[in-house]
Chains A and B, each alone.
Chain A
């Protein structure tokens, strides 16, 4: 098994045992640009990812003109 990360309609897979922060950097996502959630709860990026779990990433950067 592995750990699934989803951001909008994209899915990424990483190995368990690493922190959220490390996982984000591994798949090329800027930690500042997302909020990680586990089962609907916000988690900090030092959380260690468990085998088989699914982390939903909420994108925070909004764009366009001001």
Chain B
């Protein structure tokens, strides 16, 4: 297969676009398309202060590389979840990338700030039935928003790719989780009461593309999966979608883009409005919440600490 632009040997074939590119042109194509999506979805401005959530994985490091190449001001945020070797290695990858590219990386250690690692905390709450994923997601989202607010960042950016978005969309559609569907998209607008603007510049790239970019750029990322990811529903959904993609190339992208079009024409707007009107500020941390008093994060971690003290 030959590169559409120069005729040299192709390094990647993107069936959904009927486009094959060599390494050189692919490494140009990804930043060009990223810039196009940033503008199309009005994610942020040229001079925006961007906080980028970095996990040490291929998507977040590839995105950091692209944003840096495009000239954006970025600071990385790495959250140490205390998941043994996995956290040690992933932090090392994030720090290495930051150092090599002369980029600033902010570190937050959950155990240091809250008194327990994520695995320890998950054993002390009923949330997530023993698997740390629920406490993990809750904690990461809270910390990301807090650091973005306190640092005065204009936008919080994550490396979510199309496969991530399609899997979430698939799960929310199966369950008709209209509240979540109303809030899913490339951009989550900021809320005056304390929710920072969030954007996903990679939301239209397939996972193969972000991985190929990282490999071709020589970016060292953590190859191992989180040890708790085994059996995750999200992976199961991704595999199902890939089976469909195999038969109908472009299906994943079409699924996501059609959803965005439907939302643009009014689908879920009522749910979005209702959810927004129900936000209050947490009595402990001040972050917006739909709960009447404390937000889920503060409630969960207060419970963890009191059970630790009682043990």
Task: Provide the residues of chain A in CB contact with B23, threshold 8 Å.
Answer: 42
Task: Provide the residues of chain B in CB contact with A3, threshold 8 Å.
Answer: none
Most buried by A among B164, B168, B234: B234
A12 and B239 alpha carbons, distance in the complex (Å)? 20
> A42-B215, A44-B12, A65-B133 are contacts. A60–B208 as well, Cβ < 8 Å?
yes
Shortest beta-carbon distance from A10 to chain B in Å: 14
A11 and B151 alpha carbons, distance in the complex (Å)? 48
B211 and A60 within 8 A (CB): yes
B246 and A58 within 8 A (CB): no
Task: Provide the residues of chain A in CB contact with B235, threshold 8 Å.
Answer: 61, 63-64
Chief secondary structure at chain B's binding surface: helix
A32 and B240 alpha carbons, distance in the complex (Å)? 11
A58 and B11 within 8 A (CB): no
B211 and A58 within 8 A (CB): yes
> A60-B207, A62-B57 are contacts. A46–B13 as well, Cβ < 8 Å?
yes
| Pick from A37, A41, A45, A61: contact of B207, CB under 8 Å | A61
| Pick from B11, B210, B228, B245: contact of A64, CB under 8 Å | B228
B10 at the A/B interface (Cβ < 8 Å)?
A: yes
A14 at the A/B interface (Cβ < 8 Å)?
A: no
Which residue from chain A places its CB closest to the CB of B226 in the assembled complex? A64
Task: Provide the residues of chain A in CB contact with B58, threshold 8 Å.
Answer: 60, 62
> A35-B208, A42-B12, A44-B20 are contacts. A62–B59 as well, Cβ < 8 Å?
yes
Which residue from chain B places its CB closest to the CB of A33 in the assembled complex? B242
Q: Which B180-218 residues have C-beta < 8 A from chain A?
A: 206-208, 210-212, 215-216
Task: Provide the residues of chain A in CB contact with B173, threshold 8 Å.
Answer: none
Listed in ascending order, the chain B residues whose CB lies under 8 Å from chain A are 1, 10-13, 20, 23, 57-59, 133-134, 136-137, 160, 163-164, 168, 206-208, 210-212, 215-216, 223, 225-226, 228-230, 232, 234-235, 238-239, 242-243, 245-246
Question: Can you identify 10 A-B contacts, CB atoms within 8 angstroms?
Answer: A30-B242, A32-B245, A33-B238, A42-B11, A42-B12, A42-B215, A60-B210, A63-B238, A65-B136, A66-B164
